[in-house]
Structure 1
Amino acid sequence: MAKPDDSSLTPAQLRAVEERVVSLLNRSEAWGRVPTPLEDILAAAKLRVESKSLKEADGFLAFLKSKSIAAASMAMDTLKAATSAFGKILGICDSADHAIYIDDTVNGSKQTFLTLHETGHHEMPHQRRLFRFFEDNDKSLEPDVAELFEREANNFARHALFQGDGYAKMAADHDLEKGMAAIKKLGPKFGASIYASAREFARTNYRACLVVVLNPSEYAFGVGLRAEVRRIEASALFKAQFPLPQATHITPDHPLGSLLPSPKQRVVKPRSVVLEDFNGARQECVAEAFNTTHNTIILLYPTKALTKTTVILPPGFKQAVNF
């Protein structure tokens, strides 16, 4: 099934996060420098990064307790809430000690995102104030508040990594027909993974497009290729025109089934997919897929509306085009 929501905020919450990102990018003079200069960001935030194995939560908390009881208390709240909502913990920020701890098994673009995520916890004033209050009063952070803090930190990392609308402006220069190539090109340019690049490409695009991220394809008995839906990102225009996919798995009989790559297949070339919009009109779309080995990225965008006089649909096709 798709992972829990990791980024939704109200417009006011998102503006508050963006303001803090702008402040930090200004202080670090990072605007226009891609990939975002992480060392300058950390220096401006007055933070340092330390690698530490976070595989064993109890062992890590024991390590924190040896340095700061308050830090351990804060970390425990974060561990409980974030583990419940988002799975394995790979990083923790100890604002009191101006330190970020990142799992030493993580490297590359994921480490960059995690570092910016933890910096976000430190840079958001209301988060620091609340953590300080709970530390001083030996109280616990409510799970829904902790989950909100995680979504705020994710958006902080995203805006810092992609320099506000810097990525979106570059993506706008690429035709959707070359969208997958743009995703693969712009990700490394900004120091991001292809997965993060694909999500940003869809969510910030001014045109109608959809990105569906799948877990690796597997063969299922009696079904054939099958892949679990991990994330769905759509542009504002796509969400205004089409219902979003609801399936938890993609199988060969799904409208996107022909885009499932075999485990060793890297690319599924563009092909036509017909979807129904909110008005019940059939619209022709183009979709392609790329297998990163960690997940499959599907990019889909509409091309033109189809009329009953221009297309003859086989019996039962209407059901097949619904997500």
Structure 2
Amino acid sequence: MTVSHAPVDQAFRQITRLSGSFVLLIMLLVGTFLTIKAVRAIKSVGLWDFITTQAWSPETNHFGIAALLFGTVTVALIALVVALPLSLGGALFITEISSGWAKSILTGAIDLMAAVPSVVYGLFGLVFLQKHMVPFAYWLSTYFGWIPLFKVDGADPKNPLPNDALYTSSSLIGGVIVSMMIIPIMTSMMRESFSRAPAGEREGAYALGATRWGMIRSVVLPFGRGGIIGGTMLGLGRALGETIAVYLILSPIFDINLHVLQNGGNTVAMTIALRYGEANDFTMSALMAAGLALFLMTMAINFTASAIIARSRSGADSEA
């Protein structure tokens, strides 16, 4: 039996299909443009050297993105570690605990945070957060410095007057600032997903004697799994490409820095912003090659998240 659609529905279907195709076309054009511009730089050093070299000196034909990719992923993962529990807890609190005016205020505040420019977060981190995180970084390096991740070269745990310059402009501080920028996006997606959990299943869980936490664990979280994954991946994609806030915080170096508490770091987006104004044709090609690597990494993350979300239960119809 053939189902006929109203003309309005057919028009809406065609508009949405064209919109989706237009977005894909833009992505394809961006990828093509970056590839064309990057070919010259990649050919000059070779693909393997471009991926594995830590230095960045296109003027001497000695450059690569190893340190840039490592710094990009490090800052993004730190941001994700900080943002995920806060976003998850905030979304659950808004949907399952708060009500009335409190819920409206919290929802509006989260949405408003997403509209704050990244430069404001960067200035906040530079002026306020950086100096207040130094004692925490010093404490971590003092008691957990035996872990390579928290080691700080040149730090003396027995010195009662630590050198603060060793702990500022670190990947940890940059990651915390970026986490503040992705929390609103992640929280909004998770909140929307949790709010769509079927009322019938909620009531059924309570009827079987479940507590509020039991209902959340057995109904809301499984139903919202897609929203959790989607929000997390969207936040990760935003963190990977953040520029201005990281540019204001990190002290640029072109070596792989395994110590997240130590001064110095770099990202792909930060290097492009830093070197764009003084770039000649060949340096611009090198920057485009770095941008292409970031573009491909972000696309891989987004497509993986889409595949996972498509197989999750989130968004299913109510079974009540």
Same-fold call, TM cutoff 0.5: no
Q: TM-score, normalised by structure 2?
A: 0.26
Q: TM-score, normalised by structure 1?
A: 0.25
More strand by share: 1
More helix by share: 2
Higher relative contact order (CA 8 A, sep 6+): 2
Pick the structure with greater CA Rg: 2
